[in-house]
Every structure is written in C-alpha cells, then in structure tokens.
Amino acid sequence: MINTKIVDIELMEKLAELTSRAADYCYQCGTCTGSCPLNLLNPESINPRRIVRSAQLGLVYDDGNLWHCSTCGLCEAKCPWSIKIPDVVRAYRQISSEKRKIPQKFEEILWMVYEDGTAFPGSSMERAAWTEGLNIRDASKQKVQVLLYVGCAVSFDKRLQKVAASLAKVLSTAGVDFGVLGRQERCCGDVVYNIGEDAFLEELASQNIERFNKTGAEAIITISPHSAHMFKKVYPRYGLKIPAYHYVEFLNDLIEKGKIRMSKPLDHEVTVHDPCYLGRYLKLYEEPRKILSSIPGTKIIEMNDIKENAICCGSGGGRHFLDIHGERLSHYRVAQAAQTGAKTLVAPCPFCIQNFEDSVKTKKLGLYVRDVVELVDQSLNGEVR
Ligand code: SF4
Ligand code: SF4
C-alpha cells in the first residue's frame, strides 16, 4: 500500500527526472486502472492510477504489487494524456532495486544473468545446441551480414527452438547471409531493464554491443519482441549503432522484394495476437498480418481487442519469472482466440507462445499456437512441425 506518512521531495524530484515528468498531467480520471487487465482480474493487484498519483506527490510506493505489472502499456494507450505509466512503474522499481527491495526470484535471475548471461535455466555453453544439423554460421568466428539474435527463452526451450529453426530455414531459403553468436550470445537484458537495475543493464548492454560490433553485421534481427525493443529503443543510449529489427519486419521486406515466395497452400483460418512489445511498443501491427496474408490459402479472422487494444498474455515486465497465483490473462486471451473459430492462434513472441500453449491445454481448447515464421516455413518447405 502507499505509505502516506512519507512524502519525500527528493523522491518526487527523482521520479520526475526518471520519468521525464510523465505523471505531471495526470488528473486522476482512473481510465488506466479501469483498463488494466490485471486489475480487472484482481482489484487488489496493480493500480496504475494510484501509482501515478504517488509519483506526483512524491510518495513511497514499494508495495509488492509493483512487481505484478506486466508493463503491457494498455493503460498508456487508453490514458487521455498518453501518460507513460509503465515508465512510472519502472522508475519505482528502480528506486526499490537501489534499496535491494526486489522479489527473491529476481535476485536469482539477476545472478544468473551476471554469472552466465542467461535469464533462463541452461548454460551459455548450450546456447547453440538447437543449431545442430541446420548448417548455421557462427558469427563469433566469421563475418556475416545479418546477426540473428536468438535470446534466452528460445535458446533453451525445446518448443521455442522450433521457431528458431523455422526462421533459420526461411532465411537460408531467401539467401540471407546470416549467423548466430551461439555460445557467445548473452541475455539482452529485458528482465534487468524491467527490474530497474540500470547500472547492471549498462554493463550488460555495453558488453553485448561489443560482441555485436565484432561480427561486422550490418543488421540484427531478433525472435523476441522484447529483445527487439531492447536493441531498438534502449541500447542506442549505450551506443548501439547497428540497426535492429524484429524478424517480422525483415521477413515482410523479403516477401515484398520477391525473395520469398510461398507456394504450398495452408488452407486454414488463423487469428492474430499482437504481443505488447511488438505492437504497442514497436507499432508493428501490420507486418505479421501482411506476411500471413501472403501465405496461399490463409485467411485471418480477427479476434476482439487487437492491435493497440490487445490484451497482454501476462508475461512481460518480468512477470514471466514470478509465481503469481490466480486466473491468468493468457486463459482469457486464448478464449477470445477460440471464439473466432480459427484453427490457429498466431503469436510472434516466445513468451506469448509459452503462455498460450499452457492455457490452451489447461482450458482444453482445440487451437494450435504458432509463430508467424512457422507458418511461412510450413508453406515454403511443406513441413508440419
Ligand atoms: S488514465 Fe491517465 S490521466 Fe487518467 S488517471 Fe490514469 S494516468 Fe491519470
Ligand atoms: S502496464 Fe499493463 S499491467 Fe501495468 S498497470 Fe498498465 S495496463 Fe496494468
């Protein structure tokens, strides 16, 4: 809860600086709280209106619910002043981090990233295991034009490795000169950013930028929208100059230039989920839809709450690592997808795929969950994975 006895001018100024005075224009209409999907599931959970008010007044806000926010940005999209509420949440987290008041699980994750560069269970020595038999170049040993940044979740999760394999096959088919860093790859720092450990993030980002520069790559492409957000919006402040793209941008460009031509009709209906960091953060709403529309026989049936109104899967902002009980947002989202009657729910984000597949099983829904590139691969190479 807010500690109203502690009004701290220094804190107020610090919050204003950290958020570029984001909270100043708030007039407490409450639209943010009314639109927060996590607050809807549990009113005792995160309350963005109160957080913004606390920042305006310089109140301490170190309630545990601060860590429940998925930083999805739906509140910001609905706010009449477009107040950057996730930035206010992150500023409070940064202040809590400075006092070492963070959930124990985050302490563990930070140590994992610090010691071995991985936010997920697994050794950096195993990062390239998924590439076996795929003939993918090692960008730490030879120059490549395009660096494929794989990310922690995809490197270590068997299901998600299939997405990476599909992307590698599609890039090879299109004749793209690409490679991966393999054992040399390290966490992008999305979780570090969302915990608010900025000093560590600077160190991690600087080391990653050095690795990226050594490859000589002219572009970086990512599988996760979270990594894309880090490289596009956060790393430039630490000196990253190489342009970064989420793979849907890159793939859509290849399709538009005629370098990828899909021929095998898939003959099915799909519905598209807009991941928060791909959509609201990077505004990449059309690319997944354009790619899917170029696959013969594929029809998109839109579900409710799409694009800037999309409901989060519940995993962003570090929530993926926390054991939060109660009804899950992903249950709600897969139900929305199933309502369309589509056979496949397409979600171009590793976290969303994991969450939705769990929810589909839990709710016993007859729905496939796929990344965009898996369907491209299926149409190009005729394989059902
Ligand atoms: S929606 Fe915007 S203006 Fe309204 S309470 Fe929330 S932050 Fe303030
Ligand atoms: S960012 Fe998302 S989860 Fe966090 S307060 Fe806003 S709507 Fe709620």
pLDDT at 385 over 50: no
384, pLDDT greater than 60: no
Question: Does the beta carbon of 52 sit less than 6 angstroms from any atom of ligand 1?
Answer: yes
Q: Residue 302: which of 326, 329, 336, 255 has the closest Cα?
A: 336
Same domain, 294 and 217: no
Q: Which domain holds residue 175?
A: 104-253
End-to-end CA distance of the chain: 48
Where does a domain end: 42, 64, 98?
Answer: 98
Atom of ligand 1 nearest to the CA of 85: 7
Beta strand pairing call for 298-300 and 344-346: unpaired
% pLDDT > 90, the chain: 81
* Residues 237 and 281 occupy one common structural domain: no
Last residue of a domain, one of 253, 276, 308: 253
Phi/psi of residue 136, nearest 5 degrees: -100, 135
Look at residue 327 in the predicted model and tell me its pLDDT: 78
Q: Are residues 136 and 216 in the same domain?
A: yes
* Model confidence at 71: pLDDT above 80: yes
Question: Of the bound ligands, which one is closest to the alpha carbon of residue 49?
Answer: 1
Q: What is the pTM of this model?
A: 0.95
Residues 86 and 114 in one domain: no
Atom 8 of ligand 1, residue of closest alpha carbon? 26
Residues 44-64 as b or e (16 or more Cβ within 10 Å = b)? ebbbbbbbbbbbbbbbbbbbe
Helix runs in the chain, H state only:
9-18, 31-35, 37-41, 48-57, 74-78, 85-98, 104-116, 152-156, 158-173, 190-195, 198-215, 225-229, 247-256, 286-293, 329-339, 350-362, 372-381
The answer to whether residues 304 and 363 belong to one domain is yes
C-alpha 88 to ligand 1 mean position (Å): 12
pLDDT of 4 > 70? The answer is no
Give the domain CATH number at 23.
Answer: 1.10.1060.10
The protein residue with its alpha carbon nearest to ligand 2, atom 5, reads 48
CATH number of the CATH domain containing 360? 3.40.50
Quote the tokens at residue 93: 């987290």
**Same domain flag for 371 and 300:** yes
Q: Measuring from atom 8 of ligand 2, which residue has the nearest CA?
A: 36
Atom of ligand 1 nearest to the CA of 23: 7
Would you state the structure tokens that stand for residue 151, as one six-digit string? Answer: 């990310």
Q: How far apart are CA 186 and CA 151, in angstroms?
A: 8
The verdict on 78 and 111 lying in the same domain is: no
> Is the domain of 113 the same as that of 91?
no
pLDDT in tens, 214-266: 999 999 999 999 999 999 999 999 999 999 999 999 999 999 999 998 888 88
* Pairing of β 344-346 and β 268-272: parallel
Looking at the CA of residue 30, tell me the nearest atom of ligand 1: 5
Query: Relative to the alpha carbon of 39, which ligand is closest?
Result: 2
Residue 79: pLDDT band (50, 70, 90) is very high
Asked if 148 and 182 touch (Cβ cutoff 8 Å), the reply is: no
Mean pLDDT of 333-349: 97
**What's the confidence (pLDDT) of residue 326?**
73
pLDDT at 382: 64
Whether residue 95 is predicted with pLDDT greater than 60 in this model: the reply is: yes
The residue contributing the CA closest to ligand 2 atom 1 is 71
Q: Across the chain, what does the average pLDDT equal?
A: 93
Q: How far is the CA of 23 from the centre of ligand 1 (A)?
A: 9
Quick one: DSSP state of residue 310?
Answer: P
Whether 1 shows a pLDDT value over 90: the answer reads no
Could you tell me if 47 and 145 lie in one domain? no
Residue 319 pLDDT grade (very low, low, confident, very high; cuts 50, 70, 90):
confident
Please tell me whether residues 301 and 335 are part of one structural domain: yes
Same domain, 33 and 119: no
DSSP state of 176: -
Instruction: Report pLDDT digits (tens) over 38-58.
Output: 999 888 889 999 999 999 999
Q: Is 155 helix (H, G, I), strand (E, B) or coil?
A: helix
DSSP lists the bridge partners of residue 149 as 222
Given 204, 235, 253, the domain boundary residue is 253
* Closest ligand 1 atom to 33 CA: 6
Q: What is the pLDDT of residues 146-192, one digit of tens each?
A: 999 999 999 999 999 999 999 999 999 999 999 999 999 999 999 99
Number of domains in the chain: 3
Give pLDDT tens digits for 272-315: 999 999 999 999 999 999 999 999 999 999 999 999 999 999 99
Q: What does the DSSP assignment read for 341-367?
A: T-SEEE--SHHHHHHHHHHHHHTT---
Same domain, 302 and 207: no
Among 231, 100, 125, 239, which Cα is nearest to 182's?
125
